[in-house]
Structure 1
Amino acid sequence: MENIQTSRRDFLKAAGFTSLGLAVGISGFTPDASLKKIAPAVLKLEINPFIIIDTTGNITLVNPRPDMGQGSTQAVPSLLAEELEVSLEKVLIVQSDGKGKYGSQTSGGSSSVRELWMPIRRAGAAAREMLTTTAAKRWNLPASECVAEDGKIWHKASGKSLTYGELADDASKLEIPKEPKLKDPKDFKIIGKYNKRLDVPERVTGKAVYGLDVDVPGMVYAAIVHSPMIHGKVASIDESDTKKVKGVLQVIKTERTMPHRTSEAVAVVATNWWAALKGKRALKVNWDNGNYAKTVDTASYFAATYEAAKKEGVNFEEKGDFAVKYANAKDKLESHYETPFLAHAPIEPENAVVHVKDDGNVEIWAPIQGPDWALRDVCGYLKVKPEQVKINVTLLGGAFGRKAYHDFLLEACHISKELKKPVKVIWTREDDITQGPYRPGMLSHMQGFVEDGKITGFHHHAIGESIVGQVFKGLKDDEADPWLSEEISTGNNKYQFGTASKVSWTNVKTDIPVVWWRSVYASNFGWGQECFIDELAHLAKKDPLKARLEILPDERFKKVLETLAEKANWNEKLPQGSGKGIAVFKSFGSISACCITVSKKDSGVKIDKVVSVIDCGYYVNPDNVKAQTEGNIVMGITAAIKDGITFTNGICEQTNYHQFNVMRMNEAPPMEIHIVDSGAVPGGVGEPGLPPIAPALGNAIFAATGKRLRKLPFDINNIA
């Protein structure tokens, strides 16, 4: 096995994809290399750092948001093509490289369309105006008589036209308009319309380049041995058996640098991956694990969260004196809702190729969510200047937040610096799942009361480890975590509790590394919020939908819920043993609601149907909105009914997909996705559909069985 070199494309060929073309060259991912393929610098029109139109008519977009499956390689050029009046096929896309002139370049927080909606459209509109002005001057005509269409400026009255390429050089001499006129949404031809994903064929056939596909001349491979307790220190290394493996070059002590701390590790370096992996398995490392058997333990962590629930938290917001009102309330409830730690487990595990050269320059090829953050981290770690670092961003085979955490990249930097040659670091699936970082496990301590059949009091006490605190060291002891507090605030969820409401927070710290996971805290606290709203609705003897509408004056929320009720046929009479549950949550600027129907099956329940409704404001492609929402449904159900991450005595008990299960295709229920066209400013799409899924399922199970579930995950086949 040690001499086998298998690529993803080889695998796809063996699986039946036999008619593959040549792979896209790695240099194609860097703006500098790609832009050399178009016209000389003096013969182009450049609008801010993003758009270049050359004299042959080629239109190049520097995409500042890496694509990890969410579709930025279609969404971002769609914004440009709409304003520039060209088809998507005419836009060449290259990935930004982390340099400051491209601004924010991190794909995360469902931010790509939200943050680029105006900048990219304005750039396209500015280019259109400059090209139109140039053509009008050549024809000695008013610009108002000229129109852009299909890569040309036309004078419709005479039938004359000039291509963008013919106009680019002269247009580049004009001043860029500061406030170009944007198209009226009613005139959109691309935005909001179904358009084929032009990047799909290359991904299906294996021509697209992911991090694992990168092959650099002179490259060696490194497999990393991490401490089973994550933060352990190397006590001793026995490499005698490892050195017997053909292809192994050396064993070196290395380090895993996380944002908040550094742990020790050992790297097995070889001429090929199979030798590195075989050498890793043969390596014997003794670890000094200190006290981590006690501090890296999920049972102890959750015990601490339940203890914290007995005490007052740090107030984030309060309307009315909740404690007094709750103490005097006649009809009141108190509940605890728990969510587990979760791994990201993307199909493509963490990997990076780094070459730290003798002259101090650094070149990187990696599937990372943010080249700007990566540039910052690499410069800080290697003590080099930004101009010394060249980052080539490949496609990402999934990420969900994990690949914006650059421990794996810095491992490659350390090893390459030691060896002075390009090194490819690949984490195994076991590394990925057992080492973290994870979505933090959280507890929602809920209190509420009803008066005269209406929910009038509500307290959400959020408890757990803080991403802001652990990763960024940015949370004071007397400060409520701003990320999650904003998300569960009445300003975000729009619930108006007439008597009293409160949001509070307690930070329970852990040595288990945490970071954002798809929908970040919304996936944790949507569970507590929306299940407890249901509990209070039943206490008030009120239909859960009506109970929500009574305390939701916001028209967008109402529209989403009313649309959900219609599409899911909320008021239909169900047979005995069946039930429907709903939930609604706002995150990343979008409102999403879900209705799940379940029916009893043996000792458990079966998910019969999922209906989701999303109001994300203006959107680019309805097909992508639906695809992302379907992905959120799958991930949300998985997080509810499949394994969480647990640590006992410092060791992660899940190592691969056989223990950290993902919902399979044959388990996926029928799904319907509906979009509310509100015309509001763009919200996110990649994450907002997830938070309502688990609570809608929990509420449906209660409706069907009378069993109220408060702890995730649960066994859907055994609801006893």
Structure 2
Amino acid sequence: MEEISRRHFIASATTAGLALWLGLTSEGNLYKAIDSASVNFSPFILIEANGQITLFNTKPEIGQGTFQSFPALIAEELEVSLDQVIIKQTNGEYQFGNAQRSGGSASIRNSYLPMRKVGAAAREVLIKAAAKTWNVIESECFAQKGSITHAPTQRKLSYGSLIEEAAKFDLPENPKLKDPKDFKILGKMSKRPDIPLKTNGSAEFGIDAIVPGMLYAVVYRSPVIGATLVSYDATEVLKIPGVVKVGTAERIVGVYRYTGVAIIATSYWIANQAKEKLVTHWDNHGFDKFNTRDYEAHLRTLANQTGIVEKAVGNVDDVNLPPESYLEAFYETPIIAHHALEPLNCTAQVNGDRVEIWTSTQVSSAVTGKGAGDMHGQIGFTPENITLHSLFVGGGFGRRLSMDYIVEAVNVAKLVEQPVKVIWSREDCTQQGPFRPMTFSKLKGGISAQGALISFEHKVISPSLQQSRDSTFDPSKVDLAMMEGISEQAYEIPNMRNSYVRADLHIPISPWRSVTSSTVSFAQESFIDELAYQAKKDPMDFRLEHLKKTSDAKKVLLKLKELSNWETKLPKGSGRGVAVWEFFAGLGGQVVEVTCHKDKTITINRVIAVIDLGEVVNPDNVRNQMEGSVIMGLGAVMKGGINFVNGKVAEHNFYDSPLLRINEIPKIEVHILTDGGKVKGVGEPGLPPFAPALANAIFAASGKRFRKLPFELRL
């Protein structure tokens, strides 16, 4: 790891001078450092002699609350309140490691114990330092509110006054963690320090970045995705007052490279208006014949192929059941855009062999070339010459895991000597991708005479996410990303075969919130419901019967059964539907209640959502995330997807690719399970169960089965 010099420490501290850093090495070992040369470390705590304590948040704040929850893990064990500390966002710096990212619901589930360990180790060495200073035994000392107290005499020493002595002790490898019953922060409702900043307008998002001498740019990109630029004529553009430069800039999205024409001007308005005067010529390579309807038909044809087996249990081909015991179904989900409310943007300044970047990103360490999938090779700058200012993010949803808009902005900035802010319009964000891919599922299940599910097949037909992102992907292999969660469900089925059929696609695709679970869960949990009716079983009981062993999924279903009063009969025309889904990010389940009216409209009466976390940092954050997931799931059900006509995206902005409005949002009840088990994620597990639970509820109320998204809340 990079060496941290004495000068670095002095520059990082205040005028008080002396400072103590504590954190984890890249190998996960605890370390400390105090105003010393050549120390390898990845700091999370900075305690200064003047008493100031800084906690570093390495997880970009994208609205999910890590600006509070990540430092809370450290603060709990360090025995300080969040009111006593300064929280600083990291910017992809080498010393903070390569996990400076927010994605996969991983921020807390991967940090819960390691960050508590950092705080606990700091607390222990501070107690040792105080005990030595007073010449007393350590057991007589305790930490509280940023100071150490000697219990018998009530003497106190602040952390700042102890750092020089504390630095003389080795950090414990396995510090004693607090008993959860003694928590003051974790598991409690806590104020988020970013909320006042966001409500009073002082929070700085990427699109807010202002750099002295900054210019603005827009990029004209081919409306036909896959086309290449042949030529352009900027004669009329350059006549417009305020236009500074016109040139080409490359954008890299996974394995795809696109060249657009950048218009750089003294204001965004001028640049955007000038774009109308630009003349371009493109080679469409036949992609202007691509249409969504044709591609849907293509996927339906591919469904007849034998898929590459991802997982097999028993032998579905040897199950001896009569034909009437089998049920088959086909489910379809569309292409979807991410629709983050903050449009994509990036400000960059190139100065010789150095580049400075201001942006909203989910992957800070990858931007600076210090994380997996870093981009320094794409922009031509070495990691040590990339400086990032990672600002608040106005929505990620997986879109800002991609760095194409940053690569493009850096390439635009190479055209001039001044800093340039590149802003994507809402139309750019809607039409240029990458998108969540279209995903179809062909399912087949066999029910025994006793009503047991003894044979199950799920074949996914879709483009490959990995092939879109990785040029080394072997297309003869299963893309596990497109089979996400299917084989992880806890149902006990003696014969099962899950397989994958890959479909070629020239459109760039990327993860959308909950990745492929948002599509395949709709198919699988809806089909489980169909099989329950085939077996003449209650859908809740049918699921529980196939969860004979104790499992977290069974625990979630039992809680849903209790909270929904499942066995209570609803009035005619009303119904309940249930779904549960477990995947890499976590585990959640939902019961949806609906009423189908005589005019054929459907009302969602309530959504009961249960998430199993193991441990919780801030329950309010969890409720916010679960409500957001349900709302996003409902939007995907009701509001339509992205459609291609003659190679172009037919939708433009929120007027024809809308988000939910507040009056369309149902009552949502969130219940959190925290039994001290495996720590699971929060941001995504609330989304996959919603669509199938809703579809199952509509069937229970009306007898009508929806197998294709989107659909209207109308029979």
Does the TM-score normalized on the shorter chain lie above 0.5? Answer: yes
Q: Distance in 1 between matches of 2:291 and 2:366?
A: 31
Q: Provide the rounded CA distance (Å) in 1 between the counterparts of 2:51 and 2:589.
A: 45
Does 1:429 find its partner at 2:429? no
C-alpha displacement of 1:34 = 12
> Could you tell me which of 478, 482, 486 is aligned with 1:488?
486
From 450, 460, 463, the equivalent of 2:461 is 463
Q: 1:400 aligns with which of 397, 400, 423?
A: 397
Residue 40 (structure 1) shift:
6.0
Superposition pairs of residues 84-483 of structure 1, within 5 angstroms = 84-103=78-97, 104-294=99-289, 296-325=290-319, 330-358=324-352, 360-376=353-369, 377-451=374-448, 452-483=450-481
For 2:223 and 2:677, the matched residues in 1 are separated by: 48
Q: Does 2:657 correspond to 1:681?
A: no
Q: CA deviation at 1:343?
A: 0.4
1:618-633 → structure 2 map (5 Å cutoff): 618-633=615-630
Q: State how far apart, in whole Å, the 2-side matches of 1:34 and 1:512 are.
A: 50
Q: 1:173 to 1:515 in 2, by over 3 A?
A: same
Give the whole-Å Cα distance in 2 for the aligned partners of 1:591 and 1:354: 39
Residue 36 (structure 2) aligns with: none
Question: Structure 1 residue 562 and structure 2 residue 558: aligned?
Answer: yes
2:19 pairs with one of 36, 43, 46? 43
Maintained 8 Å contact 2:13/2:19: no
Q: Please give the root-mean-square deviation of Cα atoms over the aligned residues, in Å.
A: 1.7
Residues of 1 paired with 2:293 and 2:11: CA distance?
Answer: 54
State the 1:117 CA deviation: 1.1
1:21-100 superposed matches below 5 A? 36=12, 38=14, 42-48=18-24, 49-100=43-94
Which amino acid counterpart does residue 599 of structure 1 have in structure 2? Answer: T
Q: CA deviation at 1:36?
A: 3.6
> For structure 2, which runs of at least 5 residues remain unmatched after alignment?
1-7, 25-42
Is this contact kept in 2: 1:581–1:700, CA < 8 A? Answer: yes
How far did 1:51 drift? 1.2
The alignment's TM-score, normalised by the length of structure 2, stands at 0.93
Equivalent position SS for 1:113 = coil
Residue type matched to 1:371 in 2?
A: S
Asked if the contact 1:253–1:264 (Cα under 8 Å) also holds between the matched residues in 2, the reply is yes
Deviation at 1:462, TM superposition (A): 1.3
Provide the rounded CA distance (Å) in 1 between the counterparts of 2:234 and 2:241.
13
Distance 2:167 2:208 in 1: 38
User: Normalising to structure 1: TM-score of the pair?
Assistant: 0.92
CA distance in 2: counterparts of 1:34 and 1:502, whole angstroms = 61
The alpha carbon displacement at 1:37 in A equals 5.9
Q: Is the 8 A contact 2:16 2:50 kept in 1?
A: no
- Corresponding residue to 1:637 among 611, 634, 647: 634
- Among 496, 501, 504, the alignment partner of 1:506 is 501
Query: How far does the alpha carbon of each residue in 1:213-267 deviate from its partner, in whole angstroms, 9 at most, with x for none?
Result: 1000111111111100122222332323323333111211222211212111011
Residue deviations 1:122-158 (CA, integer Å, cap 9, x gap): 1111110110100000011111111000101011111
Deviations 1:181-205 (A, max 9, x none): 1112222111111111121111011
Counterpart code for 1:366: T
**Could you report, residue by residue, the CA deviation over 1:395-447 in whole angstroms, capped at 9, with x for unpaired residues?**
00001010111111011111112213211100000000000101111011111
Residue type of the partner of 1:274?
W
1:523 equivalent in structure 2 = 518
Aligned residue in 1 for 2:30: none
Q: Does the 8 Å CA contact 2:465/2:482 hold for their aligned counterparts?
A: no
CA distance in 1, matches of 2:577, 2:453: 18
Task: Tell me if structure 2 keeps the 8 A contact 1:34–1:94.
Answer: no
Query: Would the aligned equivalents of 1:72 and 1:112 in 2 still touch at CA under 8 Å?
Result: yes
**Which letter maps to 2:295?**
Y
Give the Å deviation of 1:45: 3.9
Tell me if structure 1 keeps the 8 A contact 2:10–2:18.
no
Unaligned runs of 5+ in 1: 1-31
Shift in alpha-carbon separation, 1:41–1:96, aligned structure 2, 3 A: farther
How far has the Cα of 1:330 moved from its partner? 4.1
* Contact 2:147–2:156 (CA under 8 A) maintained in structure 1: yes
**Counterpart residue identity of residue 298, structure 1:** T
- Superposition deviation, residue 337 in structure 1: 0.8
1:186/1:281 Cα in 2 relative to 1: closer, same or farther (>3 Å)? same
Which stretch has the larger CA shift, 411-420 or 321-330?
321-330
Output one character per residue of 1:674-712: Cα deviation in whole Å (capped at 9) or x when no partner.
111221121110000000000001101111111111000
**How far apart are 1:33 and its partner, in Å?**
12
Amino acid at match of 2:589: A
Cα 1:656/1:37, change in 2 over 3 Å: farther
1:565: how far off? 1.3
Alpha-carbon separation, structure 2, partners of 1:283 and 1:267: 10
How many residue pairs match? The answer is: 682
What is the rounded CA distance, in whole Å, between the counterparts of 2:53 and 2:298 in structure 1? 57
Shift of 1:328: 5.2
**Are the counterparts in 2 of residues 231 and 264 from structure 1 also a CA contact under 8 Å?**
no
Equivalent residue, structure 1, for 2:586: 590
Offset at residue 179 of structure 1 (A): 1.5
Q: Is the 8 A contact 1:373 1:404 kept in 2?
A: no
Question: How much does 1:378 deviate?
Answer: 3.9
| 1:462-503, Cα deviation, whole Å (9 max, x unpaired) | 1101212211235323321223435111xx2111013x1111
Kindly provide the CA deviation profile for residues 293-330 of structure 1, in whole angstroms up to 9, marking residues without a partner as x: 23x43223222221221121011111111133277554
Contact map agreement 1:39 1:55 (CA 8 A) in 2? no
| CA-CA distance at 1:634 after TM superposition | 0.2
Does the C-alpha gap of structure 1 residues 683 and 474 become closer, same or farther in structure 2, counting only changes over 3 Å? farther
Q: CA deviation at 1:578?
A: 1.1
Aligned amino acid, residue 470 of structure 2: F
Query: Counterparts of 2:251 and 2:215 in 1: how far apart (Å)?
Result: 19
Cα distance change on mapping 1:227 and 1:41 into 2, 3 Å: farther
**SS in structure 2 at match of 1:120:** helix
